[in-house]
Amino acid sequence: MQVNIQDNPVIDFLQNRRSVLARNMRTPGPDRDTLEIILSIGARVPDHGKLTPWRFVVIEGDDCAKLGDIAAMGLAERGEEPDMIAAARAQFLRAPCVVAVLACPRVHPKIPRSEQIYSAGAACMLLTAAAQAAGFAAQWLTGSAAYDTAIRARLGGGPDDEIAGFIYIGTRTEEPAERTRPPLDDIAVFALPETSAE
């Protein structure tokens, strides 16, 4: 079936979607009503078994500094350099709104943990795209904070949970430059690859 996708605003948006570096964001971020729409879109991802294996934690205002202090403390305890500790302390202050996405996989006899982690990753991507579609700058980041057990606990995550990412949302200070994308021939095939005979 041939479908005409010319002049389709959704296709045009997806073809031109580009993340904005968190350091190139400023206020304002989304208001509560807009943020709730963005979060509800983020929840519309493939979810085998309807397990909802993810949670969203919105970090704004004083909470950004509090979470940064925890991240900095973790690096200091590991003996990291002072400039890295300072950067960790300031990381959540780069945008007016940060959404932490917790992957919260459940034990299930038919649905492996990996599928549930992928679902949380899909939520990160859809949150990023939804924020951008709403006119905001957005970037999906991880970094050492995403693997810090104290950060995970402060976000309400349990020992079996993981931080899938932090979605930074704000207003862009400059237009992002396009980056080189891989040629389609390098990443896609349109038939099963040939295999050598045993």
Element (H, E) at 70: helix 62-77
Contact 26, 170 (CB under 8 A): yes
Give domain status of residue 104, yes or no. Answer: yes
Give domain status of residue 160, yes or no. Answer: yes
Question: Which pLDDT score is estimated for 20?
Answer: 96
Give domain status of residue 132, yes or no. Answer: yes
Query: Taking 90 as the threshold, does the pLDDT of residue 171 lie above it?
Result: yes
**Residue at 118: amino acid letter:** Y
What whole-number distance in Å separates Cα of residue 101 and Cα of residue 43?
A: 11
* Percentage above 70 pLDDT, the chain: 98
Q: What's the CATH code of the domain at 39?
A: 3.40.109.10
Contact 121, 164 (CB under 8 A): yes
Contact 169, 26 (CB under 8 A): no
Q: Tell me if residue 190 falls in helix, strand or coil.
A: coil
**Residue at 188: amino acid letter:** A
Q: What angle do CA 123, 68, 77 make, to 5 degrees?
A: 115
Choose among 146, 150, 151, 102: nearest CA to 127: 102
What range defines the domain where residue 127 resides?
19-60+94-174
Query: Taking 60 as the threshold, does the pLDDT of residue 97 lie above it?
Result: yes
Give domain status of residue 112, yes or no. Answer: yes
Alpha helices, H only, 91-138:
113-133
Question: Which pLDDT score is estimated for 195?
Answer: 81
User: What radius of gyration do the chain's Cα atoms show?
Assistant: 19
Give domain status of residue 6, yes or no. Answer: no
Give domain status of residue 87, yes or no. Answer: no
Number of folded domains in the chain? 1
If one counts every other C-beta atom within 10 angstroms of the C-beta of residue 6, the result is 7
Give domain status of residue 123, yes or no. Answer: yes
What whole-number distance in Å separates Cα of residue 160 and Cα of residue 165?
A: 16
Mean pLDDT of 18-44: 97
Question: Which pLDDT score is estimated for 15?
Answer: 93
Query: Taking 60 as the threshold, does the pLDDT of residue 198 lie above it?
Result: no
Query: Taking 60 as the threshold, does the pLDDT of residue 131 lie above it?
Result: yes
Kindly state the tokens that stand for 91. 């990381």
Q: How far apart are the first and last CA of the chain?
A: 38
84: phi then psi, degrees, rounded to nearest 5: -70, -35
Query: Taking 90 as the threshold, does the pLDDT of residue 6 lie above it?
Result: no
Task: Say if residue 176 is preceded by a cis peptide, omega within 30 of 0.
Answer: no
> pTM, whole model, 2 decimals?
0.94
